[in-house]
Amino acid sequence: MDSSNALPRIIEPIEILNDQQKRHTQIVDALAVIGAILAFSLGCMFYSLTGNEQIFYPAMLEALLFLSVLACTRYTSVQTGKKLLFILHTFFIGYFGIILGRSSQIYLFAPFLAFSTLLVYQKWFNRIFVMTFCGLMIILVQLNYKSQLIKALPLSASFQYYLHWIAIATATFLNGSVLYYYAKESKFQYQRMKSLVEQLNKTNQSMRIYVRETTHEIRSPLNVVNSILQNYLEAADENKRTIQVGKAHLDAVHFACQDIQLVMNNTLSWSKIEAGKVEISKSTFQIREWLNQLCETYDFLGKKRAVHVSVSISDQLPEYILTDISKLRSIIVNLLSNAIKFTALHSIVRVTASVQNGELRFTVTDQGKGIPDPEKEHIFDPYVSATQHQNESTGLGLPIARHLARQLGGDLHVTDNPNGKGSTFILLLPLELAVPPNITTTKEDIDYELLKGIKILVTDDDSMNQLAFTLALERLGINVILADSGNDCITKARLFKPDIIIMDMVMPKISGVEVLSLLQKDKELKHIPTILVSGNCFSEVQEEVISSGADGFLSKPVDFEELYHTLKNLVVYA
């Protein structure tokens, strides 16, 4: 996806640190080279004028030590290089200030030492301490001129004259150099902080939009569920324990829940996209049969709005293709969901599949109000609202669909419905032919006798989740024991000796992972298989489940077939 379509991303701390280290290394190396050149050139100049070895050899040593700073920043750390550079400058300024006498004008180098301190040390305590030390050094050198505790070299009047101006020039150059780098660093830090504040503001705004729009997307199907249930509850006879519910209403509740789950899946998918964790896993599957079944499902969903989903598959489309079925499903499902949402009532959403120019070509066409040309590209931005759509946003579906299409080597774009009002979304993907698999698998029927009679301890602090598991497990003939906390789980596990424990990961006081650790340490309970459940299905959570030693993982909302197969694997293959 284009970077313009992505939500604002805060620069990772590791990126900031790497950039800062690189920049500081350049500053230290530059100042070290400047110091080495000055020490060498001035040492040679002073030696040629005086012939004094007390100036020449220390100056050559100073030049070599400054060059060693380059190796220090490369092979140790830039912080070590900074401190070595500062120590060398401080020592040799003091040394030459003493042996060259008053003409060295050591006080001129005070600004250089001050700004060098600010560049080298970050903590103000260290800065104040080092500045105080440098100030005392300059004062002691000045006092030495009067006390003559360490006598300066005997220099001629003409040399002292030249030294006076050389000291001014050298101090001005060093002060200017360090001031330049200090100002540059200060400007960079200001720009970085300004950029960071802008990113935080954009992220804050994006999060507001995200919460608002996601809440809106969930509220609509939730309203369907609430309205139907409220209608039955208000009309129910309080003296009767059961209520007769129409199948059409149950279907509406079921598909409303499917809508909510789609919003949740899109949120998870977008989080993975932002984190750069989308992986492609291709496999062989029957494209024709799959597409027909998918459109039949959404044709049923469209009946709530009197919308019919029509599918047309070209004879050129091969029976088997190689692609990532989960990614392709996510793309088509998001396109179908948006088409049903925005098409006119009592209309048709048309789906076509064909092969053109060696590419797979899928189209999803609605009969809504259409999208103006200026908004066609922006419709793939997260949570974009078109005025023609009465301010109802497209959510994350379209940006996810385009990103996944490009991950698969194709693209997704939108155009006008060629046969009237509405829009047509065109998905192009590379065509990879595949041979039929040798072994065909059929959907396994659920054996309701297989798990009948086993005991399962369900641990969850939420009574609604307990109810959901109870309904699903009792449907399989399983005896259900309920616990509402980690401590309650351990107590009832010892009392009832369940065959399996199903436990929520997030509970007050003690988490599911912590309870699992206690169970594994208990000689009486460590053999009981444990399944952890979480509403968070990010990869980090699943990695935590694996490292905890759990025997299985289920994500909320729990799918009945997934629950059955997880339990079957524990019972049959135990």
pLDDT of 3 reads 35
pLDDT for res 38: 84
Residues 31 and 168 in one domain: yes
Residue 386, pLDDT > 50, answer: no
The rounded distance, in Å, linking the Cα atoms of 371 and 415 is: 8
Distance CA 326, CA 268 (A): 14
For residue 213, what are its two tokens?
């729009």
The owner of tokens 């220090």 is 72
Dist CA 266 CA 564 (whole Å)? 25
Maximum pairwise Cα distance, the chain: 119
One domain for residues 231 and 188? no
160: in domain: yes
Structural tokens at position 368: 């809504």
| Torsion-angle region of 36 (φ positive above 0: left; ψ -120 to 50: alpha; else: beta) | alpha
Please indicate, yes or no, if residue 71 is contained in any of the structural domains: yes
Looking at the fold, whether 47 and 181 belong to one and the same domain comes out as yes
Mean pLDDT, residues 485-490: 92
pLDDT per residue over 273-283, tens digit each?
Answer: 555 555 677 77
313 touches 351 (CB < 8 A): no
Return the structure tokens found at 36. 């080495």
pLDDT tens, 306-360? 899 999 999 999 988 888 887 888 888 889 888 888 898 889 999 999 999 889 9
Are 472 and 384 contained in the same domain? no
Q: Are residues 290 and 425 in the same domain?
A: yes
Question: Would you say 287 and 433 are in contact if contact means Cβ atoms under 8 Å apart?
Answer: no
Domain assignment present for residue 206? The answer is no
Structural tokens at position 17: 């640190």
Report the range of poorest mean pLDDT among 110-114, 217-221, 414-418, 515-519. Answer: 217-221
pLDDT of residue 490: 93
Residue 492's CATH number = 3.40.50.2300
Residue 555 — very low, low, confident or very high, per pLDDT cuts 50/70/90?
confident
* Amino acid in position 82: K
Whole-angstrom distance, CA of residue 478 vs CA of residue 471: 10
Q: What is the pTM of this model?
A: 0.48
Residue 421 confidence (pLDDT): 87
Give me the number of domains the chain comprises.
4
User: Are residues 495 and 423 both part of a single domain?
Assistant: no
Last residue of a domain, one of 414, 430, 446: 430
Last residue in a domain, options 200, 218, 243: 200
Interval 395-413 mean pLDDT: 85
Highest mean pLDDT among 211-225, 262-276, 369-383: 369-383
* Residue 267 shares a structural domain with residue 288: no
Cα separation, 375 vs 377, whole angstroms? 6
Supply 290's token pair: 């799959």
Burial of 380 (0-12, 13-18, 19+ CB in 10 A): buried
Check pLDDT > 70 for residue 133: yes
Is the dihedral angle over the CA atoms 250, 256, 259, 263 positive or is it negative? Answer: negative
291 plus 346 within the same structural domain = yes
Does 440 map to a domain? Answer: no
492 and 358, same structural domain?
Answer: no
Evaluate whether residue 448 is within a structural domain: no
Say how far apart CA 163 and CA 409 lie, in whole Å. 71
What residues are paired with 343 via a beta bridge? none
Residues paired with 502 in a beta bridge: 458, 531
Q: 319-355 burial string, b = 16+ CB within 10 Å, else e?
A: eebbbbbebbebbbbbbbbbbbbbbeeebbbbbbbee
Could you tell me if 317 and 273 are in contact, meaning their C-beta atoms sit under 8 angstroms apart? Answer: no
Q: What is the pLDDT of residue 212?
A: 61
Tell whether 183 is covered by a domain: yes
In this structure, is residue 443 part of a structural domain? no
Bridging pattern class, strands 359-365 and 348-356: antiparallel
| Token pair belonging to 14 | 């590791």
- Single-letter code of the amino acid located at 40: F
In a domain? residue 437? no
Binned at pLDDT 50, 70 and 90, residue 450 comes out as confident
Rounded CA-CA distance 91/57 in Å is: 15
- Contact of 413 with 399, CB cutoff 8 Å: no
Q: How many residues does the chain have?
A: 574
> 267-298 as b/e, with b when 16 or more CB fall inside 10 Å?
bbbbebbeeeeeeeeeebbbbbeebeebbeeb
Is omega for the bond preceding 58 within 30 degrees of 0, making it cis? no
Residue 408's SS3 state is coil
Give the strand pairing for 423-430 and 320-323: unpaired
- Whether 464 and 413 map to the same domain: the answer is no
Range with the poorest average pLDDT among 129-133, 258-262, 466-470:
258-262
Question: Model confidence at 88, in pLDDT bands (50, 70, 90)?
Answer: confident
Please report the DSSP string for 231-287 in residue order.
HHHHHS-TT-S-----HHHHHHHHHHHHHHHHHHHHHHHHHHHHHT------EEEEH
Euclidean distance between CA atoms 164 and 315, whole angstroms: 94
Are 291 and 329 part of one and the same domain?
yes
Task: Please provide the distance, in angstroms rounded to a whole number, between the alpha carbons at the two ends of the chain.
Answer: 45
DSSP secondary structure of 62-93:
HHHHHHHHHHHHHHT-HHHHHHHHHHHHHHHH
Cα–Cα distance measured from residue 496 to residue 204, given in angstroms and rounded to the nearest whole number? 50
Task: Please give the Cα distance from 127 to 114 (Å, whole number).
Answer: 9
Q: Could you tell me the CATH number of the domain that includes residue 388?
A: 3.30.565.10
pLDDT of residue 429: 94
Range of the domain at 127: 13-200
Q: Do 170 and 131 belong together in one domain?
A: yes
Domain boundary among 211, 243, 275: 275
Q: Using pLDDT thresholds of 50, 70 and 90, give the confidence band for residue 255.
A: low
* pLDDT on residue 18: 65
